Structure 1
Amino acid sequence: MKANENNILRLISGPDKKFIIPVYQRPYSWKKKNCEQLLKDLKDVYERKHKSHFFGSLVYVSENSGSCEEFVIIDGQQRITTVSLLLLAVRNYVLEHPDLNVKSINTEKIKNAYLTDEYADNEKKLKLKLIQGDDAAYDALIEGKAPIEDTCVTANYNYFYSEIKKMTSEELEGVYNAIGKLDIVSISLQPQNGDDPQLIFESLNSTGLDLETADKIRNYVLMNMGHREQEKFYKNYWEPLEQTVGHHDINKFIRYYLANKTRKLYDEKKLYFEFKYYREDSKLSIESILQDMLEYAHYYNFIVNPQQKKTSYSDILERIDKLDVKTCIPLIMDLFKAKSSGYISEEKLKKALEVIENFIIRREICDLPTNALNKLFVQIGAEVDKEVNNSDMDYYDAFCSKLLSKTGRSRFPNNHEFHEHFESYDLYDAKSSMRKYILERLENFDNKELVAVEKLIDDKVLTIEHVMPQTLNDEWKKQLGKNWELIQTKYLNTPGNLTLTAYNSDYSNSSFTKKKNMPGKGFLCSKLSLNEYINTCDSWGEDQIRERADILYKKAEKIWWIPDAVKVNETEKSEWINWDEDVDITNKRVLQVEVIDTLIDTKDMSDAYRKIHSILFGLDPISYYDSDFPWFSKTDSGMRKSYKLADNAYIETNQNSQNKLNAIKKIAELMQLDSNDIRLLIGDKPHKPTFKINDESTYGVLSTGKLAYELFKEVMQRGLVSSDEIQQLKTKEYTKKLFDRTDYPALADCRDANRGNSNHIRYRKNPLIFNGKEIYITTQFFEDERDEIIQWYKKHINGNT
């Protein structure tokens, strides 16, 4: 094996060279984001006048075929193919725009030195031989033939060409010259000396021992510094950072730190690139970011190790830690930062932490999904900051108000909902940490003689006891009555029937009387507050279970209290949802969407649907072409209402809002997008005014078809349309002159008209009346014909027909 420093253009240039991707390699698969990163790096080289940019390694086996030297690529096909596509896009653009002032770009050199070998014996003369399919697409681009659209080769070439079109001549030259500064490590395998290309290929494509995310970020931070500066930054910042959060927690800390700064909780495998993007977007110096990270590292350390320093709220942090809902860490960081900045006192910080604890527990008991908390805990701090800055509101009040304002899956359950679910909550089957936490709090609340419930359970001194046992004998069935089976099913594992005892094995399935009065061991001997009510009962059944549940609930309402709401000035209740959430958006309006960090205003779900698909198709058209989704096609044939994404790419838009969201979910799953890569801001649809024929501002409350019905009816009833025009509107030709999207005559003499072989009825149920005869109006009007229908109505009303 021989490894040499090299330059990508120097390697591929020159005669008698051919680079071959072997058939066992997977197809070329770089996506738009990879190409974006390459262009970003090249622009950075050009703008900052870097001498070089490390572009990775190229591993190959070199073979002499007689007529040329063949390089069989083991690793690096993505890089060499992408550079070739970029060079081809540069060459073609310059040739097609001869008036460009780009003297340093020699198109003949690009073709003959980097893309083809003019002296090669074979017909194509291409230097790069891709695998079948990719090769045909690449060849079509080189030869200027009709492009093969459904490949990453064509998609990435099109992306580069479109980006080049946006560049000035100076920028284009800068990017082109930067390609010549892409340095690589070229590794030549030598099978004759024992190198096994297959083993090396398997090793390169296995999971391997990759650098940890924190290692990559550390290298990114320090690599471009001089030796002395590296030592200084490492000693002053990075080393204390790792020591503060612990080596094993450094990746977790970076994840929550970035979540706090960017308001998105990223998957750990993306942290390295997201850190780079954050640093570049923030315009902050590396030193400023490291200073900030060190401050937040101390917050993180106290959050996950609250026992190390005694404060008025240490015990609350310990309880929150037991709940194992780590995604609340960014929000607690927000609270600590607010305290450090003087926005919130220690007393109110303590209350705010209790609110978080109560919020988590109420949601657990009300069976609300935990995945809804991921984005909420990340984003709410920014909402509080905005409210405080805009209205000078008290930080704690703003914090509580924002939390209480959440609706749907993100809501803070009120007392009514909490009470309703508490009685039926399956406490026994809750995860162990949650079960112990709830029983400990119910036992020790307002109790000065605290019982170490969790430790005693862990030590197996105390165990959970079903007062009404899991297995009922005849005595128990008789006591419970004829509905014993229903009672057991309904209440067995609920708080009203569960308690703690040190004598579980002694109780077994014994009768209630025996459990209560067992000498030295019965409930009457228990000092636990959880057993106080049980001691007063002479029997145990549905009434006693429900009464005890109510007693425990009254205590629970005090333990996990809900803060008073302070009204915040909000014009509209709205919430962000991620694409993978199970949420009903019927009768909801989509106000904005965020797709891969791009925020876009939208009018409604239809507008959002079109815009999301346009972006996703631009990112990865292959996923669309490779799918069999019924709402996507290469033609618009058979679609009732199509939307064109690109040539040979259409989506069906004639779907309800929920189906549109489901379609977005399908393509996002196929593209393996993260939960927060697509988000929608949804709100309630505004109250609709009543439709009034003389008030055009109310026309929007009706669908296009219903509006057409009302406007045509008005014109006919007032006799403002001629018989001749009515007859013309019964023809497709005349209808299309007026309403170009409608494929059927606007009017017909019967509902069954123009059905052909279809079972679909194309005319409205309720007829219009003209000259005493029934006439039916089509249902086949489209939203973008609304203005044409209104104009037709106005012409007749104003006498301009």
Structure 2
Amino acid sequence: MAAIESRDVSVKELFQKFYIVPRYQREYVWGKNQVTQLLGDIRSEQMEGEYSEYFIGSVVVCPSQTERGADDLIDGQQRITTLFIVLCAIRDRLSALGEENLEGIKKSIVDVDTDQYGNDCHRARLEPQYKDAEGVFDDLIEGRKITSKDTRSIKNISIAYNVVKDFLSNDLDDSVVEIKKFFGYLMANVKLIKIYTDSFGRALKIFETINDRGIGLNAMDLLKNLLFMNAEKTQFEYLQECWKFIVDELYKINEKPLRFLRYFIFSKWGVPRLAKDELYEWLINNDKKIGLSDNPVGFTEKLKEALKAYAFFLKKKDSRGEQNYILENISFLYRKHTSARQYLVLLLAGRNLSSEVFSALCRDIESFLFVCILVREEIRTFEALFAKWSLLLSRVRTMEDYKAFSKETFQAQKKKHSSKFYDMFRSIDNRSLPKYQFDYVLGKLTQAVDRDAYGSDNPLSYYCNTKEIHLEHILPQKSDCDVYKEFGLGADDPSLIWSIGNLALVEKSINMSLGNKAFSYKKRIYPKSRYLLTRIISEKPDIGNTAIDRAVAHMHPFDEWNKNTIRQRAQWLAELACTVWNVPSEHYGRELDMGGP
């Protein structure tokens, strides 16, 4: 036999052999869309005529390393598994419709084979060995309903089976004649290229060549193939366990595998830019640097360790699994945008820092991100910058090292935006930011003042809980005669009503008593609030010589409320914001370390 054989085969010819899906293969990942499209394409081609053929790609096989008389399926597992599910669903539907002559289709699913002792035994045409398959294939083969959905693979197989069942009922009208015609077309006219090799190593090499640069499979799949190509056979089981953890964890946290892989590379090697379709080529070209060939297990372990920390970060925890309120703060900035995660590059780079230094990094990231949001600096443009900073961060060991790093990176960048930050902050209204970011701003200001004045340890989520803490418009959204009389012209101006200078946070109970009343009434109520930033509107308590006391020393209570006082308070809050987000400001004239979460 030649080392490599390649020929066109029909689905019927394909399922005359027995196939093993090795343990190291990824689980079944096709979803509803892929199965629906495959069935639709086959059906459309069938409608072109009985001689029309439909090509669905290639498969790569080699003699099985574990099962005599079978082939290991190296490439094409998703398509072949889907075809096997289709055959099972057709058999079950025809049987349910009363068709009894099903020997042909049954032999394509299970047939008699001879074991090593010369005994006949029934054997499935497709046998997955990966753990996620569990007993689901037994259910398929026996025509039982799939009840367990404990793993992603089982869930996807169940979804695929139901998609096929719906297709047979809806598109083929549950007609025995039409279903059998479709089955006949599928078996005879749907073609594949079957590539047979004499060895596992050669099969993997062909797999890599066919999928060069991510064509057909993505870089994560090709990376796995590359790791197994370079690993010893004795390492396969452990390598598969590590890879299964990576795949399962990415699924649990709902993260795109290629994004995580890119961020890992950025954080580790400081690559400035790398598109998804360039990942695999970069891995190949930088093999010596990253150790794929020399130590595939070691590389996989590093990837696994990084993913553990990555998953913790998305859960607002540090790399040790401890709750981190600063990471929770960052989540408030991007509550509606799961794609805005570039900051994870820096967190990955700093995951092994001490708790104190890591918290300082998180504070700087939060501050930097908000400054960029407010001045409308496109965050995605900072991927290259964060990758560059990751290399600098890798040299940090002590807090002194970190302060020097922060000055060179975060502070230098924020200084460029300081004037624009101040100007835009004092102009903030409901058109400037989405509501969730607006809530973040008011919550952050209120929290910072309370923390430094009273030592409050309430997390930011406490101040952003709209059920207990309400947004107060000092100039009401709906003004009555008393408000118009006191405020004058502009009492119904949205730009004033929603100005940052006109907004405060108050307790639910206090807000109910404030209502839409005039300022002459409200100013007697504000001092009852526990939030210092709200109390300062009409009363200035003596809180001692604290950082915030100094920061708000220029703020004074108001006796009346009008356009000028709204603008004045907006300016004061902008000056306070420069302190809270640690932005160098010529307007404020000094930088204060707000610290804490």
Structure 2-normalised TM-score?
A: 0.50
Rate the CA distance shift 1:230–1:373 in 2: closer, same or farther, 3 A.
same
Rate the CA distance shift 1:317–1:547 in 2: closer, same or farther, 3 A.
same
Alignment of 1:193 onto 2:184:
yes
1:165-244 equivalence runs, <5 A: 193-195=184-186, 214=220, 217-222=223-228, 227-235=233-241, 237-241=242-246
Residue type at the aligned position of 2:516: N
Conserved 8 A contact 1:475-1:511? yes
Alignment of 1:467 onto 2:488:
no
Q: CA deviation at 1:274?
A: 5.7
Rate the CA distance shift 1:305–1:193 in 2: closer, same or farther, 3 A.
closer
Rate the CA distance shift 1:417–1:308 in 2: closer, same or farther, 3 A.
closer
Distance in 2 between the 1:193 and 1:6 partners? 30
Alignment of 1:497 onto 2:502:
yes
For residue 347 of structure 2, what is the aligned residue in structure 1? Answer: 332
SS at 1:74 equivalent: strand
Q: CA deviation at 1:294?
A: 2.9
Rate the CA distance shift 1:440–1:192 in 2: closer, same or farther, 3 A.
closer
Conserved 8 A contact 1:496-1:545? yes
SS at 2:186 equivalent: coil
Distance in 2 between the 1:192 and 1:421 partners? 66
Distance in 2 between the 1:444 and 1:333 partners? 28
1:508-547 equivalence runs, <5 A: 508-517=515-524, 522-536=525-539, 537-547=558-568
Residue type at the aligned position of 1:422: F
Residue type at the aligned position of 2:504: T
For residue 372 of structure 2, what is the aligned residue in structure 1? Answer: 363
Distance in 2 between the 1:529 and 1:267 partners? 48
Q: 1:444 aligns with which of 442, 447, 465?
A: 447
Conserved 8 A contact 2:446-2:505? no
Q: CA deviation at 1:330?
A: 0.6
Q: CA deviation at 1:466?
A: 1.4
Distance in 2 between the 1:394 and 1:430 partners? 35
Alignment of 1:351 onto 2:351:
no
Conserved 8 A contact 1:456-1:462? yes
1:300-319 equivalence runs, <5 A: 300-307=310-317, 314-319=324-329
Q: CA deviation at 1:230?
A: 1.1
Residue type at the aligned position of 1:238: W
Conserved 8 A contact 1:453-1:462? no
Q: CA deviation at 1:423?
A: 0.9
Rate the CA distance shift 1:277–1:71 in 2: closer, same or farther, 3 A.
farther
Conserved 8 A contact 2:415-2:584? no
Rate the CA distance shift 1:489–1:431 in 2: closer, same or farther, 3 A.
closer
1:2-151 equivalence runs, <5 A: 7-8=5-6, 74-75=55-56
For residue 386 of structure 2, what is the aligned residue in structure 1? Answer: 377
Distance in 1 between the 2:464 and 2:255 partners? 29
Conserved 8 A contact 1:383-1:402? no
Q: CA deviation at 1:448?
A: 1.9
1:649-798 equivalence runs, <5 A: none
SS at 1:326 equivalent: coil
Q: CA deviation at 1:496?
A: 1.3
Q: Deviations over 1:579-636 (max 9, x none)?
A: xxxxxxxxxxxxxxxxxxxxxxxxxxxxxxxxxxxxxxxxxxxxxxxxxxxxxxxxxx
Distance in 2 between the 1:212 and 1:449 partners? 49
Alignment of 1:549 onto 2:564:
no
Distance in 2 between the 1:193 and 1:313 partners? 59
For residue 258 of structure 1, what is the aligned residue in structure 2? Answer: 265
Residue type at the aligned position of 2:428: Y
1:393-412 equivalence runs, <5 A: 394=401, 396-406=403-413, 412=415
Residue type at the aligned position of 2:368: F
Distance in 1 between the 2:376 and 2:466 partners? 29
1:157-168 equivalence runs, <5 A: none
Rate the CA distance shift 1:371–1:243 in 2: closer, same or farther, 3 A.
closer
Rate the CA distance shift 1:458–1:277 in 2: closer, same or farther, 3 A.
farther
Q: 2:300 aligns with which of 290, 304, 308?
A: 290
Distance in 2 between the 1:265 and 1:461 partners? 45
Rate the CA distance shift 1:455–1:310 in 2: closer, same or farther, 3 A.
farther
Distance in 2 between the 1:306 and 1:192 partners? 51
Conserved 8 A contact 2:309-2:351? yes
Distance in 2 between the 1:312 and 1:226 partners? 37
Distance in 1 between the 2:291 and 2:319 partners? 35
For residue 438 of structure 2, what is the aligned residue in structure 1? Answer: 435
Conserved 8 A contact 1:216-1:272? yes
Q: CA deviation at 1:424?
A: 0.6
Quote the RMSD (CA, aligned, Å).
4.7
Residue type at the aligned position of 2:444: R
Q: CA deviation at 1:432?
A: 4.1
For residue 691 of structure 1, what is the aligned residue in structure 2? Answer: none
SS at 1:434 equivalent: helix
Residue type at the aligned position of 1:359: F
Q: CA deviation at 1:534?
A: 2.0
Q: CA deviation at 1:328?
A: 0.6
SS at 1:194 equivalent: helix
Q: Deviations over 1:433-465 (max 9, x none)?
A: 423332222122213245566346536122212
Rate the CA distance shift 1:354–1:458 in 2: closer, same or farther, 3 A.
closer
Distance in 1 between the 2:284 and 2:565 partners? 61
SS at 1:253 equivalent: helix
SS at 2:505 equivalent: strand
Alignment of 1:480 onto 2:498:
no
SS at 2:477 equivalent: coil
Distance in 1 between the 2:189 and 2:499 partners? 59
Gaps of 5+ in 2: 10-41, 46-50, 59-180, 193-215, 335-339, 540-557, 586-597
Distance in 2 between the 1:540 and 1:335 partners? 48
Q: CA deviation at 1:360?
A: 1.4
Distance in 1 between the 2:512 and 2:190 partners? 59
The sequence identity of aligned pairs, in percent, is 20
Distance in 1 between the 2:319 and 2:247 partners? 19
For residue 767 of structure 1, what is the aligned residue in structure 2? Answer: none
Distance in 1 between the 2:320 and 2:298 partners? 30
Residue type at the aligned position of 2:499: T
Rate the CA distance shift 1:192–1:467 in 2: closer, same or farther, 3 A.
closer
Conserved 8 A contact 1:426-1:495? yes
Conserved 8 A contact 2:375-2:420? yes
Residue type at the aligned position of 1:254: L
Conserved 8 A contact 2:262-2:274? yes
Q: CA deviation at 1:497?
A: 0.9
Rate the CA distance shift 1:524–1:316 in 2: closer, same or farther, 3 A.
closer
**Larger Cα Rg: Structure 1 or Structure 2?**
1
Q: CA deviation at 1:558?
A: 2.3
For residue 70 of structure 2, what is the aligned residue in structure 1? Answer: none
Q: Deviations over 1:259-295 (max 9, x none)?
A: 3236256566775666556548745432332132233
Q: CA deviation at 1:559?
A: 1.8
SS at 1:336 equivalent: coil
1:261-280 equivalence runs, <5 A: 261=269, 263-264=271-272, 279=287
Residue type at the aligned position of 2:443: E
SS at 1:465 equivalent: strand
Distance in 2 between the 1:509 and 1:500 partners? 15
Distance in 1 between the 2:496 and 2:455 partners? 30
For residue 770 of structure 1, what is the aligned residue in structure 2? Answer: none
Conserved 8 A contact 1:362-1:412? no
Distance in 1 between the 2:513 and 2:284 partners? 62
Distance in 2 between the 1:320 and 1:192 partners? 54
Distance in 1 between the 2:442 and 2:516 partners? 22
Q: CA deviation at 1:231?
A: 0.4
